[in-house]
Structure 1
Amino acid sequence: MSPKIINILFILTLLISCNQNSAKESNKPKQSDSAPKKETVKAPVDNIKPSKGKKILVGYYDDYENLPQLVFDSVSEREFNKLKASKFLRSIKPKQKGNDFYVETAVRTHTFKKYKNYGEPKNWYGYQLKGIYPALKLFVLTKNSTADHLGFGELFLLDSVTDHQYLISSIGDGSVETPIPSPNNQYFVYYDNTMYELQNSDIRILKINDKENPEKYLTEYAYFNSTEFAVEQIIWKSDQCFYVKGYKQIYDESSGQWFKEFKYYRTNFN
């Protein structure tokens, strides 16, 4: 075969190869077509699944185990009654539609199912908005459900500014009691009375930190486990001192009735 013919065949081969590559490139999707479109983010109806890094779990027993234990002293009823409980939650009536209610933060609007009986399979299920801490700009919500005639719950705080959600670990089956902020919002104290014990309770303290680091906004600080009393009421006296109205359940055989025997306690911590 002559060199001229070889050159012609080589040029034809190059042209065919270039055309094929051009066709492949034209069939590829353009970057603007394949890039995901931004959509408005809404919280799922049935459970809370915020974007990564926004849901923070606090209050696990393991995190308290190596922390200082609170020490309580007995005080008189008269001393306890000198204290005045502060109103730390403000009630809110959220927007509602059908079985849903809405809580709006600076970032997005969250949609939650109302707590009610939905029949099988969920039965009683849903969320309740307990209010907002005005100074801290935190919503307080609980998620509740029932299964086999048992109730389950969890409490979480939703930051109206950062949109972070702080789920406070349940001590028993139900949610813990609403955390009570200290007078200058330096600490939260919360408790849970053991459902199956007459005079057992857990008292825990969370330190309230700077919101500039939202992941460390609430940190475990101190705790107390009581086998002597359940908690009826907690009142702060200062940011490092609070009082507890505790009780034991006593059964009166003569009347066949249970009644509460109250005792009062105080703790100071640094």
Structure 2
Amino acid sequence: MINMKYKYLFIFLLSINCTSIYAQKKVNNQKISSDYREVILGTTEEYQKLPHLKLKSASAEDFDQLPETNFWTMPKVEKANHHFYIQTSKGKQKFKIYSNEGNQKGWNGYELLGYSHLLSLYAISSNSSSEGIGFGELFLLDPKNSFKYHISSFGDWYVSLPVPSTQHKNFAYYHNTQYQHKNSDIGILKFNAKAAAGKAFKPVASLHSDEFAVEEMRWADDNILYIKGFEEIYNCDKWIKKYKYYRAALSDL
């Protein structure tokens, strides 16, 4: 009888240990999966090691003859109880809707910024606030594999939506410095549609300027990028924009 008691006790302890190991393994697997499905692009350290764009003067006519791109459109998604939902390969993902009302501090929520039908990517920002200052970071969500491409901001707020070159081999995005009238940063990402998940985008070049802020960017092809820049000037009791135009060729890097 005593032997039977020890036998049952041994089985009970063994089952607890196995359950504990399984639970720990499950947690570890979830952590690995989460880490694997996110990547941060365009950090300051990364761009410091890469070439800088070389600008040349251009004209308004050069810029205006290039077609505008409507690469990002606002999709219809499910919304309920101050959240929006996106269906991915890993199930339906839930995002708290960002609100800039009131004096909320800390992380506040997500903002759906657009969707690319061509690449099947959602553009979303994660926003927060502290001491009256807003902070945001843009990421691109691939619903096919649930991968998130975080694009590091050059400042407090998130960067612009990336603009694709004509054959979508390169993407350009920018960030204008807050409270400045002619400061900006530009980042260039190389895109490979055939790359494995997490490898589709790769930073290749950047630019910091103290001469202009960015109004808009357009590609002439997969090599040449045109930039419509401006400087804000205070005149006759109001701020006005004085425009300048530039071009940069990736082949000049």
1:28 and 2:34 aligned: no
Cα deviation, 1:178-201, whole Å, max 9, x if unaligned, reads: 111112111110000111321111
Q: Which moved more, 1:142-151 or 1:79-88?
A: 142-151
1:159 and 2:142 aligned: yes
1:207 and 2:184 aligned: no
The counterpart of 1:222, out of the listed 199, 202, 205, is: 205
Within 5 Å, which residues of 2 pair with 1:36-75?
36=23, 51-75=34-58
Instruction: Show the counterpart of 2:29.
Output: none
Amino acid at match of 2:244: K
Amino acid at match of 1:189: A
Judged with a 3 Å threshold, the aligned counterparts in structure 2 of structure 1 residues 121 and 224 are, in CA distance, closer, same or farther, namely closer
Q: 1:117, 1:123 within 8 Å by CA — same for their partners in 2? A: no
Alpha-carbon offset, residue 251 of structure 1: 1.6
Alpha-carbon offset, residue 144 of structure 1: 1.7
Q: 2:149, 2:198 within 8 Å by CA — same for their partners in 1? A: no
Instruction: Show the counterpart of 2:249.
Output: 268
Amino acid at match of 1:268: A
Q: Which has the higher contact order (CA 8 A, sep 6+)?
A: 2
Q: 1:182, 1:239 within 8 Å by CA — same for their partners in 2? A: yes
Query: Percent identity among equivalent residues?
Result: 36
Alpha-carbon offset, residue 67 of structure 1: 1.1
Q: 2:85, 2:93 within 8 Å by CA — same for their partners in 1? A: yes
Judged with a 3 Å threshold, the aligned counterparts in structure 2 of structure 1 residues 29 and 194 are, in CA distance, closer, same or farther, namely same
CA RMSD of aligned residues (A): 2.7
Alpha-carbon offset, residue 145 of structure 1: 2.3
Q: 1:241, 1:267 within 8 Å by CA — same for their partners in 2? A: yes
> Is the radius of gyration larger for structure 1 or structure 2?
1
Which structure 1 residue ranges, 5 or more long, are not aligned?
Answer: 1-14, 40-48
1:180 and 2:143 aligned: no
Amino acid at match of 2:240: F
Within 5 Å, which residues of 2 pair with 1:117-266?
117=100, 121-122=104-105, 125-252=108-235, 255-266=236-247
Distance 1:170 1:127 in 2: 16
Amino acid at match of 2:9: K
Judged with a 3 Å threshold, the aligned counterparts in structure 2 of structure 1 residues 20 and 105 are, in CA distance, closer, same or farther, namely closer
Amino acid at match of 2:12: N
Cα deviation, 1:123-142, whole Å, max 9, x if unaligned, reads: 89221111211111110001
Alpha-carbon offset, residue 146 of structure 1: 2.3
Alpha-carbon offset, residue 58 of structure 1: 0.8
Q: 2:105, 2:131 within 8 Å by CA — same for their partners in 1? A: no
Judged with a 3 Å threshold, the aligned counterparts in structure 2 of structure 1 residues 32 and 161 are, in CA distance, closer, same or farther, namely farther
Specify the SS of the correspondent of 1:52: helix
Distance 1:32 1:22 in 2: 15
1:81 and 2:64 aligned: yes
| TM-score, L = length of structure 2 | 0.87
Specify the SS of the correspondent of 2:9: helix
Distance 1:80 1:33 in 2: 66
Q: 1:232, 1:246 within 8 Å by CA — same for their partners in 2? A: yes
Instruction: Show the counterpart of 1:105.
Output: 88
Amino acid at match of 1:55: E
Specify the SS of the correspondent of 1:24: helix
Distance 1:68 1:198 in 2: 25
Distance 1:151 1:101 in 2: 21
